[in-house]
Structure 1
């Protein structure tokens, strides 16, 4: 049986960016995760130990957000790799990282990078 867990609206303050100011001042980011997995076992057992823990998924994402990187692609790749290493039942994952109010010289709500594996 296929299941999908979505974790929406995760907010972080981190220091990702190619510009020196971004590495010093930091910025607000939001993250969205979509995780497809085989949920046959937890659907039958009703046991948290059989489930793909969205608490653990959040902790992985938060940990990777705190590691400084120049590119959001690099952050997203680390997230995907760590999620797949932690959850053998994962069959597909998508991560969207948005940088709020990026310093591009104009009024911009956000820029985003989406990675899928």
Structure 2
């Protein structure tokens, strides 16, 4: 059985952007994750050691969000690499990283990048 774990709207204040002002002032960001893995053992045992610890995933995302980058694509790629390294049982990740109210000269709720990584 293939299972999915979803962590939605993880909120961070971070300093990502190509503009100098963005790197000084910062902005609000949201991260959404969908993790795909075989979780049959956890389903059977009810044991945290047999699944993917959500708190550890959040901590990995936070650590990468704390490191300033110019591009959302770069941050998103780092997050995916970090999670895949820590949890090799993950078969696929879909990550959406959104900058809220981006400074692009118009009324825009968010700008986002979506990356999908599959271990085929």
Normalising by the residue count of structure 2, what TM-score does the alignment of the two structures yield? 0.95
Alignment RMSD (CA, Å): 0.7
What does residue range 24-103 of structure 1 map to in structure 2 within 5 Å? Answer: 24-103=24-103
Q: Distance in 1 between matches of 2:106 and 2:61?
A: 29
Q: Distance in 2 between matches of 1:73 and 1:39?
A: 29
Q: Aligned-pair distance for 1:46?
A: 1.1
* Cα distance per residue 1:17-38 (max 9 Å; x no partner): 0000000010000110000001
What stretches of structure 2 of length at least 5 have no aligned partner?
none
Q: Distance in 2 between matches of 1:59 and 1:41?
A: 24
Normalising by the residue count of structure 1, what TM-score does the alignment of the two structures yield? 0.97
Q: Distance in 1 between matches of 2:69 and 2:83?
A: 18
* Cross-structure match for 2:16: 16
Q: Distance in 2 between matches of 1:104 and 1:9?
A: 22
Q: Aligned-pair distance for 1:41?
A: 1.2
Q: How many residues align?
A: 117
Q: Distance in 2 between matches of 1:87 and 1:17?
A: 28
After the TM superposition, list the runs of 4 or more consecutive aligned residues in structure 1 that deviate by more than 6 angstroms: none
* Cα distance per residue 1:34-78 (max 9 Å; x no partner): 000010111111100111111111111111111000001110111
